[in-house]
Amino acid sequence: MGPKMSHASTNLPSLTNPGASASLASEYQLGRNWARILRGRAPLLQDPITFHYIDELLWDLVPHSELSDRRLELIVVDNPTFNAFAVPGGIIGVHSGLITAAGSEDELASVLAHEIAHLSQRHYAQRIEEERRNRPMMLAGVLASILIASANPEGGAAALSGTIGAQAQAQLNFSRRNEEEADRIGMQTLVAANRDPRAMPQMFSRLQRNYRFYGQRPPEFLLTHPVTEARIADSLNRAEALPPVTPRSPSIDFDLIKTRMEAHLSKQPSQILQRFLADSHDKEDAKSDYGVLVAAMRINDLDQARKALEQLPRNWRQHVYVQLTEIELLLAEKNFAKAEQQSEQMMSLYPGSYPVKKIRASVLYHAGKPAQAANVYKSIIQRHPSDVDSWYQLAEAEGLAGNILGVHEARIQYFLLTGNIDSAMQQVTFAKRERNLQATDIARLEQLKAEILEIRRQLQEDF
């Protein structure tokens, strides 16, 4: 599923302050370029099912928020820590560990609502503008140090100390006023979306209780979004004063995704498989059977995985996420014919579904049909142009299909999205050496070269 990157902790606080005058256009550009650097430094979760779930949850909230610029980009970092962050220009990030920390879907939604509120109130914009006027290198130093810390926490701390000092470290945290405002507006968003506003203080309290698992270091979210008992109590009081919501119909989506992430993030997959097996025997619940399925697949115990799949009740077997998991199992079993058949059926039922397309493309690639896989990846990229993994896989598929120019162009986009500007420019050079290029090909490559140079200029200016 693409290149491996460092799995070090990514401590990515939001950079915010009220009363901004910075333009939305410059914030958007800043955020997108910040994301380029992040993608090149941090491990991204390569699980289209989980990404789709969080993205759907985010967009369930956005229409009910005060966010005016809704050009959002979700980034899911493959990291077991409990963290979320917001960055200028509509970047919202979630660590995969936050899913396993949440006790319910509404608790997970409450963190997203909180981050949306930080964006809608533009809590960072005034500080960015002030620091650009007074100390132009401040923002660059802060962002660079954060990203250094994502790969090497000690190095990041040294950079903070050496380049911007202790005062800058303090500015990484939201102010008390920012946090109270994000709590209040975030809970209003939850109510408008028909979600329980009490889930927000419940989630903060849950994260706070996890202190004992971290020794002297609390979860990253609490470092960048300080939580006190008084704040939790105040949030509960605010929640009680809000209009009541109508409870939603029970959904198994959250249980599926949380179980999936528990298996994925476990450092001891054999042990978590035994835990799910014991729970399945004692409780006889579908969640535990699904846990056995995904945990057994992780250690390649495919017979155990198949058995667990067949034990799932009918309503679970019919769920789109479980059907996609079954196709993943067929791929692991190298049953490409059946995987291709079932993924084709899923495409006809869910033609626009992101995870269905991603798994269909993977099936076609592994079934020895790279040209067809490339077409599906191109379709995915049309709607998700920042999907790093799809650009990487497209380059691989184009290579096997013999479309060398297509390989170069996909790699250019991959390198641009991961902030690797020199490699992107090198790919343009390689592409222009290919034989039999048409005038349109050369014009397209020249346009890509101009885009690369402009992005390089922006990165040099901002970072």
Query: Domain residues of the chain, as ranges?
Result: 24-241, 250-333
Greater model confidence, 122 or 70: 70
Give every CB contact of residue 57 below 8 A, 6+ residues apart in sequence. Answer: 105, 108, 109, 112
Residues 78, 107, 183, 220: which is the catalytic one?
Answer: 183
Is 307 a residue whose pLDDT tops 80? yes
Q: How far is CA 31 from CA 37, 52, 78, in A?
A: 10, 22, 20
Rounded to the nearest angstrom, the gap between the alpha carbon of residue 275 and the centroid of all alpha carbons in its chain is 27
Q: How far is CA 143 from CA 87, 149, 264, 302, in A?
A: 10, 10, 29, 44
Q: How far is CA 189 from CA 81, 106, 199, 233, in A?
A: 25, 12, 12, 19
* Model confidence pLDDT, tens digit, residues 198-251: 999 899 888 877 755 555 566 666 666 666 777 888 888 888 889 889 888 878
Sheet holding 84-87, edge to edge: 73-77, 91-95, 84-87
Q: What is the pLDDT of residue 134?
A: 46
Residue 438, phi then psi, degrees to nearest 5: -85, 165
Contact in structure between 106 and 200 (CB atoms under 8 Å): no
Greater model confidence, 184 or 143: 184
Min mean pLDDT across 147-151, 188-192, 291-295, 313-317 is at 147-151
Of all residues in the chain, the percent with pLDDT exceeding 90 is 59
Greater model confidence, 161 or 355: 355
**Pairing between β-strand 91-95 and β-strand 84-87 as defined by DSSP bridges:** antiparallel
Rounded to the nearest angstrom, the gap between the alpha carbon of residue 209 and the centroid of all alpha carbons in its chain is 25
* Strand ranges in 82-225 using DSSP code E only, listed in sequence order: 84-87, 91-95
Min mean pLDDT across 15-24, 28-37, 97-106, 288-297 is at 15-24
Q: Residue 65: helix, strand or coil by DSSP?
A: coil
Residues 105, 106, 115, 181: which is the catalytic one?
Answer: 115
Is 17 a residue whose pLDDT tops 60? no
Q: What is the pLDDT of residue 224?
A: 64
Is 261 a residue whose pLDDT tops 50? yes
Residue 120, phi then psi, degrees to nearest 5: -65, -35
Is 166 a residue whose pLDDT tops 70? no
Q: What is the pLDDT of residue 128?
A: 60
Min mean pLDDT across 145-154, 156-165, 229-238 is at 156-165
* CA-wise closest residue to 58 among 73, 43, 39: 73
Q: What is the mean pLDDT of the chain?
A: 84
282 catalytically annotated: no
328-356 average pLDDT score: 97
* CA-wise closest residue to 254 among 179, 184, 302, 199: 199
Contact in structure between 308 and 279 (CB atoms under 8 Å): no
Greater model confidence, 57 or 168: 57
34-56 average pLDDT score: 93
* CA-wise closest residue to 58 among 121, 105, 10: 105
* CA-wise closest residue to 263 among 238, 212, 298, 305: 298
Q: How far is CA 336 from CA 40, 132, 325, 329, 386, in A?
A: 32, 55, 14, 10, 29
Q: What is the pLDDT of residue 220?
A: 60
60 catalytically annotated: no
Of all residues in the chain, the percent with pLDDT exceeding 70 is 80
Gap between the Cα atoms of 353 and 372, Å rounded: 17
333-339 average pLDDT score: 98
DSSP β-bridge partners for residue 452: none
Is 440 a residue whose pLDDT tops 60? yes
Is 21 a residue whose pLDDT tops 90? no
Contact in structure between 43 and 116 (CB atoms under 8 Å): no
